[in-house]
Every structure is written in C-alpha cells, then in structure tokens.
Amino acid sequence: MEEKNKRQPPSNEEFMPHLAYDSVIFGFNGKQLKILVLEYHNTDFFALPGGFVKRDESVDDAVKRGLRERTGLENIYLEQFHTFGDVSRPAPDVMRTILMNNGYEVKHDYWMFDRFVSIAYYALINYEEVSPLPDELSDSINWYSLDELPSLMMDHQQIVDKALETLRENLDKKLVGMNLLPQKFTMKNLQKVYEAVLGEKLRRTSFQRKMLSKDILVRHEKLFNGGAHKAPYLYSFKSKIVKEPEKV
C-alpha cells in the first residue's frame, strides 16, 4: 500500500490502562437474532465493538458512549454480564497490526499493547432504527446471525457465547422483547423473538396464554397486514413500571 501520514494514537493519559470493555449488540430482524461485528481496516480481524474507559468516566458510561457513537441511539438497554480477566487475553501483536494498518505510529511500549481486562456488556436494540457507523479504525460494522459469525479475534467468540447464555437466562425476567421489537408488535412477532433467543420452537397457544397472563402487555388495534386471514392484534409493553437497569 502507499505511505500514509503517520498519525499519533490516543494517549493513555485520557484512559484507564489495562481496562477495556466489549459489547455484544443484539438486534432482531423479524426472524433471526443478530449481533454487530466490525472489521478493522486492512486486516482480517473481526471483533466486537469495544473501547476504553476514560479516567473520569464510569464503566457504564464508557459503554454507552461507544454505543452512541456506533449506533446513534441514546437510550439503549444495557446489561453487564461478565468480566474477562485471563492472563491469556492480551494480544499485543493483534493490536499492533490494527494500529499499524491504520497508519498510526506506535512505540514498542504503547499502552494498548499491555494486558487488558475486559468488562463485557450486552445491548438490545431495535434493529430497524439503526444504521451502524464504523469507527475510525474499522472498515465496516455489520449485522451477523449468530450461526454465521466470522471467526472473531482474541476471546470474542467466548464473550458472545456467554452473552447469549445470559440473555437466555434473563429472557423471562427482564422483558427482553421490549427492547428488540418496535413499540407495537403482534403476538407472533414476540414469539419469534423468544424462539430466536432460545433457539427452539415454542407452542403458539401456550405462549400466547403465558404472555397474556403476565399482565405486561397492552392490547391495541388490529393489524391489517394484507394476509387472507384473521388480523392479529397489536400489543405494546405496559412499560414504565418495568425495571430499567442501565438506561442512559
């Protein structure tokens, strides 16, 4: 490639050393659960959107900042699920390749080559409302189905696995559907979310009865979607009573 201007990378005066976050951003396209994966410039490295924590910023806020920059969304449902602290995590060679291929001039002992502990969060966003933006270091940021993920760098596949595991455990108690669907949705839409998260088919009648008995849904007008059949009702979540743990 041609010579680029050598740029100065971020100084570690702004950020906490050894501390990073990674985010598993879930979206739902109506059929499948997907996550956002980015690809670094001029490398074959696929990674989760992550970043560093500023010295005067809480970890939660750092993650929110990263999500805002990449999705444009302000109010994102966020859940911290695990912190990855193995000594085998650091991959200075990977980091060096990424920075060098982005035209940065980095010293041998640059802070990003140190060991990092990563605090991992998952986010739930409305797939339709967002057009993800690649950051400065990335070529692209795209939705991938969980069963068609590219090979992810470092321990990011492990992070995805743990995120999905936690999402499944939280499915009933955290009203996951609310954050993956548009405000109004049919019972079938909601069932598809459950099926995508759990990875299994559910029985229609039992699911409907269970959801209606929970007293969390409000029924609205019918949706005439052009199908040659009875029109389904639209529902929304009886929100605002709900616990919203990690909103901006």
Partner DNA sequence: TAGTTATTGTCTCAATTTGTTACAATAATA
Partner DNA sequence: TATTATTGTAACAAATTGAGACAATAACTA
Give me the residues paired with residue 36 across strands. 143
**Which is closer to DNA, CB of 117 or CB of 202?**
202
Please report whether residue 224 would count as binding DNA according to CB under 7 A: yes
Which of 31, 55, 210, 247 lies at the binding interface for DNA (CB under 7 A)?
210
Please give the residues from 170 up to 229 whose contact with a second copy meets the rule CB under 8 A.
Answer: none
**Which is closer to DNA, CB of 21 or CB of 185?**
185
Residue 64 three-state SS:
helix
Please report whether residue 226 would count as binding DNA according to CB under 7 A: yes
Task: Choose the contact partner of 31 out of DNA, a second copy, none; CB within 5 to 8 A by kind.
Answer: none
Distance (Å, rounded) from C-alpha 154 to C-alpha 203? 39
Contact 179, 125 (CB under 8 A): yes
Distance (Å, rounded) from C-alpha 122 to C-alpha 23? 5
Task: Choose the contact partner of 19 out of a second copy, DNA, none; CB within 5 to 8 A by kind.
Answer: a second copy
Nearest to 36 by CA among 133, 101, 109, 118: 133
Contact 175, 242 (CB under 8 A): yes
Distance (Å, rounded) from C-alpha 218 to C-alpha 232? 14
Please report whether residue 187 would count as binding DNA according to CB under 7 A: yes
Please report whether residue 58 would count as binding a second copy according to CB under 8 A: yes
Task: Choose the contact partner of 231 out of DNA, a second copy, none; CB within 5 to 8 A by kind.
Answer: DNA
Please give the residues from 139 up to 178 whose contact with DNA meets the rule CB under 7 A.
Answer: none
Contact 17, 11 (CB under 8 A): no
Select the span of 19-27, 102-110, 160-168, 183-191 touching DNA (CB under 7 A).
183-191
Residue 4 per-residue DSSP state: P
Residue with tokens 């993650």: 63
Residues that bind DNA (CB under 7 A): 186-188, 203-206, 208-210, 212-213, 222, 224-233
Q: Which residues bind a second copy (CB under 8 A)?
A: 16-19, 53, 55-60, 80, 82-83, 85-88, 115, 117, 119
